[in-house]
A = this chain, B = another copy of it.
Amino acid sequence: MESETKNNTCPFRLRASRDALEIIQGKWRIPIVISLTYGTKRFGEIQRDIGDVSPKMLSQELKALEENKIISRTLYDSMPVTVEYSLTPLGQSMNKLLDELLNWGNHFRKEIVG
């Protein structure tokens, strides 16, 4: 058991949500992580998965996710240079969060869009 300083207090929950939101924030980070839950992918594959992300934004957000240890970038020095992106264990730990996000997204769509 952890020390029972209630982890349900409002200030505690607010701080935790801010930590998470800082990483998640933006239009493209979650979509990128979702794309990578299907396995290691290359720049162009992620771009095609998402469909409407520009190379500029994709590059920028991949860097941010790498800095936050959510994804890892591997460069293969093959002759047409190959780069592969994949989720780190920390990135994989977003599994349940993503599931709930998707669950709720569907629920919301059914309720509102009808």
Taking beta carbons and an 8 Å cutoff, which residues of A are in contact with B?
7, 10, 13-21, 23, 25, 27, 30-31, 34-35, 38, 49-50, 68-69, 90, 93-94, 96-109, 111-112
Contacts and interface: CB of A to CB of B under 8 A. Distances in A.
A25 B25 contact: yes
Contact of A103 (B30, B96, B98, B105): B96
A51 B61 CA distance: 30
A100 B96 contact: yes
Given A10-B49, A68-B112, A96-B104, 13 more contacts: A10-B34, A13-B102, A14-B50, A15-B105, A16-B101, A16-B102, A17-B101, A17-B102, A18-B31, A20-B105, A69-B112, A90-B108, A94-B104
